[in-house]
Structure 1
Amino acid sequence: MRVASPLVSLTLQSLLRTKPVERITDEGANTQLKRSLGLVPLIALSVGATLGTGIFVVLGEAAPQAGPAVVLSFVLAALAALFSALSYAELAGAVPVSGSAYSYSYATMGEFVAWLCGWCLLLEYGVSVAAVAVGWGGYLNEFLHSAIGVRIPDALASSPAAGGIMDLPAAVVVLLAALVLVGGARESAVVTTVTTVLKLLVLVFFVAVTVTAFNSENMAPFAPAGIAGITGGASAVFFSFIGFDAASTAGEEARNPQRDLPRAIVISLGIVTAMYVLVALTAVGAVGADALGGQEASLSAVMRDVTGAGWPSTVLAFGAVIAIASVVLTVLYGQTRVLVSMSRDGLVPAMFARVGKRRVPTANTLVVGGVVAALAAFVPLGQLAEATSIGTLVAFALVNIGVLVLRRTKPDLPRSFRAPLMPITPIIGLGLCVLLVAGLKPQTWLAFAIWTVVGLGVYFLYGVHRSRLNDWQHGERAQAGQS
């Protein structure tokens, strides 16, 4: 017992130890990554990572569940995202590093919680990239069929669970995005900005066309499944709001992170929410909620039904092909930057933090791209989207808690943005996250439980022993002994 007690004590101490904010900020200030992103590229990064995921892909799955009230599902999901976005904005301005919610948790709640948060972020980013890539394949098929009358064979455009061999288009778009990211942060930002503008124009075109066919009869009954349907729909479409935090992963590549990161996060969420609500409202009003169900390229089908012509559907499908590819690019970017921070802390292998000649994490990007491409090729869309939502909501909940903790432990820490109405804002954000998590399906909880158990195994077998905080704390004790 005399031997076991110190070991238990050391383990508990290791789990609860925090990484000083000053140390995290210093690492971010001395990053090897290239600082090349201003406010507009950061907004484009967040909008590009968000806009399109839910509207182009998930709307067709959520609309039959909530009915016309799917519009309120988007509003509820947006509110949950908004309160969490305000917490993100405060922490991004105070701790501007690549790790996003992972780094914020490390500074406020300790290494163990930070690891769980980082593990959730890996699920959030990696699985969402795969889910979006699967949806991209559906629009690619729609575009090829509309433009030249050709379709990719079902065997090569569907996962084994959907009766195919593999989803080849989904795998290809992930690998192409990885290659673009290896080219450099500035080059990737140019691609992201151009594709984001194109995406906005395509959705504005969709709204302008479908509003002419709006029929109020399609809005009744408004909420056939009641509050449960709206909440369930919100849990599903919350997946489509995850990208707004992508700007927070660019903390070490932003030219003025304290000023620009909070602005980019809040502005991008406002743009995305407005577009989602407009598109959902006009789509349901034009054809009805049930007509949107079961179609991966649901917006193209709406355009075809509304206009009776093929070219508007072709234009939308082409825009979706380009736009959704930008989501793959920007979310894949976010995952690699979270891994940079986790690797720099010693919790995952050092190769994920190595920076190549173009000052980007080359090996990290290629490995992540390969793993996510395989996931996109063999796992169906619905399972991917819900698994993403639970990882996202857990990470967002921790960010809301982190704001409260940091306000108490570091009240004098310089903050370029402060969440309003403290502590009400993060408490509401936390409550909404819990509400949406409760609306997810049992199989999603099971998948998340398995993912968490795997993560705990990795942490206790690898991370806790190799944490850089071990060396730092030993150095602190040695200096204290010498003095």
Structure 2
Amino acid sequence: MTVQETSLAAPERADIRRLGIGSGTALCAGAVLGPGVLTLPSLAAAAAGPASILAWVVLLAMCVPVAASFAALGARFPDGGGVATYVHRAIGPRAAAVVGWWFYGAVPIGVVSAAWIGGKYVADAVGWGEPGAYAVAGAVLAGALVSNAVGLRMSGRVQLLLGGLLAAVLLCTVLTAAPQVSAAHFTPFLPGGWASVGSAASVLFFAFAGWEAASHLSGEFADPRRDLPRVTRRTLLVITVLYLGLAVVTIGVLGPAAADTDTPLTELLARSVGSAARPVAAAAALFLTFGAVNSYLAGASRLGAALGRDGAAPRLLAKGGAPGEVPRRSLAVLGGTAVAVGAAAGFGGADLDLLMRATATCLAAVTLAGLAAALVLLPRRTPLWCGAVASSLLTAAVLAFAGWLLVIPAVLACAAGGFLTLRRGLR
């Protein structure tokens, strides 16, 4: 999961570009990887059992043309605007505003999900139970809000370090747990029927959002047409190894118990390393989730300011959006919404699975909009264009399995359209 930080209109590119293939790959992989993967294998296993592996495979296959399409768009239009800029070029400003609202609306739900994941890992390690998980999640969210409000931001190196830490934790988990995989845990393979695979895919999309990050980074490369395809290929290789490895060992080692835990990495490490792995996994999860929540809020608060500045959201959100300033009004809206979502979840209004599905639904809608822009902007009837068509159909299918959660992007789209219509009428 990544967050749009820039204006809906294409900004001027910086003259200094410092990203190389290695750092670009690390940043792109860090955008796709996120704290959601710390619990998604269990949520997918609960939805489809061993067949959840098929959902991972389908989404990884879909990632190839999605990543290639965003990389191609970034190479052709190298700026920091990302998906909203491409939608603006291909479809128009109203559609771009809707994409911005989808991003902005997804973040409060996503940060509550991420904070809750960290809370569950800590509570599991120290035996605090569900109330303890809520308390830790609240502390993570509050700390990130305060950090952003006073203008503290993690440097790119720190974010890069956290992304590398997550990749290292996942790789260590896969390697240490692999010898304990049992073939018996893969039968029956399809206990819930084929529809359950679609249900698993709809929540797993949370782990596959972020490919538009390549387009945000495009202006930072010396030669986007040369470098972006290389970065994309390497990122695909990294997440394929990590995601498929994690999916296989979760089912193969934990078996039916995979569906009954919120902390699969802790369980996998505890079985292969011992109980000492629990505090280690909890500490890693806490750092990762705080870093992710902090970054999501930082980016989304600036997105809200950009929406306000460009007339796609109330003008009051624009205050503090200039370089070097803190968009506290936008941050307050995000924080208030996140607190409301967290309170509703805490009082039994939603569980982690529902929150992650809601976030994934909004992010899938953004991805579909980006693919629609690619179909307009990329040369037609080329292999890349045909791949974008196939990925559009698969993304639409994943969205269909979201069911009633499609109400969320629909409401956000109506709100964006209604605001633009009202603003035009008041001129």
Structure 1 unmatched ranges of 5 or more: 1-22, 159-164, 412-418, 471-483
Q: Does 1:277 align with 2:244?
A: yes
Distance 1:58 1:368, change over 3 A: farther
1:55 is matched with 37
CA shift at 1:140, angstroms? 2.4
d(CA) in 2 for partners of 1:218, 1:114? 46
Is the 2:80–2:218 Cα contact (8 Å) retained in structure 1? yes
- SS across alignment from 1:310: coil
Shift of 1:39: 4.8
Kindly tell me the number of residue pairs found equivalent between the two proteins. Answer: 412
Alpha-carbon offset, residue 176 of structure 1: 6.0
Amino acid at match of 2:355: L
C-alpha distance in 2 between matches for 1:136 and 1:45:
22
Distance 1:455 1:170, change over 3 A: farther
Counterpart Cα distance in 1 of 2:186 and 2:331:
46
The change in CA–CA distance for 1:105 and 1:80 in structure 2 (over 3 A counts) is same
- In the other structure, the counterpart of 2:145 is 175
- Greater mean alpha carbon deviation, residues 107-116 or residues 49-58: 49-58
Contact in 2 for aligned 1:47/1:271 (Cα 8 Å): yes
Matches within 5 A, 1:266-345: 266-288=233-255, 290-304=256-270, 306-307=271-272, 309-336=274-301, 338-339=303-304, 341-345=306-310
Change in Cα spacing, 1:45 to 1:424, as seen in structure 2 (3 Å) is same
- 1:9 maps to what in 2? none
1:285 is displaced (CA, Å) by: 0.4
Q: Is the 8 A contact 1:66 1:232 kept in 2?
A: yes
Say if 1:90 and 1:105 are closer, same or farther in 2 by CA, change over 3 A. same
CA distance in 2, matches of 1:258, 1:368: 36
Judge conservation of contact 1:218–1:286 (CA < 8 Å) in 2: yes
CA pair 35-393 structure 1, distance change in 2 beyond 3 A? same
The answer for the alignment partner of 1:15 in structure 2 is none
Letter in 2 for 1:403: A
Q: Which runs of structure 2 are paired with 1:120-131 in the superposition (5 Å)?
A: 120-131=102-113
* Map of 1:12 onto structure 2: none
Supply the AA of the counterpart residue of 1:440: A
- d(CA) in 1 for partners of 2:34, 2:96: 29
Mapping of residues 20-419 of structure 1, within 5 Å: 24-25=9-10, 27-29=11-13, 39-143=21-125, 145=126, 151=128, 154-155=130-131, 157-158=133-134, 167-172=137-142, 174-175=144-145, 178=148, 182-183=151-152, 187-250=154-217, 254=220, 256=222, 258=224, 260=227, 263-288=230-255, 290-304=256-270, 306-307=271-272, 309-336=274-301, 338-339=303-304, 341-348=306-313, 349=315, 351-352=317-318, 354-355=320-321, 359=324, 362-363=327-328, 366-367=331-332, 370-371=335-336, 373-375=338-340, 377-378=342-343, 379=345, 380=350, 381-407=352-378
After TM superposition, the structure 1 stretch with the greater mean CA deviation from structure 2, 45-54 or 226-235, is 45-54
Contact 1:85–1:265 (8 Å) recurs in 2: yes
Whether the aligned pair in 1 keeps the contact of 2:73 and 2:378 (CA below 8 Å) is no
Once residues 120 and 45 of structure 1 are traced to their aligned partners in structure 2, the CA distance between those partners, rounded to angstroms, is 23
Partners of 2:367 and 2:248 lie apart in 1 by 27
Aligned AA (1:318) = A
RMSD over aligned CA atoms reads: 3.3
Q: Once the 2 structures are TM-superposed, how far is the Cα of residue 374 of structure 1 from its aligned partner?
A: 1.8
CA offset digits 1:72-119 (Å, max 9, x no partner): 111112223332222211222223333321111111101222122222
Q: Sequence identity, in percent?
A: 23
Change (3 A) 1:246 1:324: farther
In structure 2, how many angstroms separate the alpha carbons of the residues matched to 1:106 and 1:375? 32
Deviation at 1:28?
2.4
Contact 1:387 1:447 in 2 (8 A): yes
The 1:362–1:123 alpha-carbon spacing in structure 2 relative to 1, beyond 3 Å, is closer
The TM-score normalised by the length of structure 2 is: 0.84
CA distance in 1, matches of 2:216, 2:372: 19
- The equivalent residue for 1:4 is none
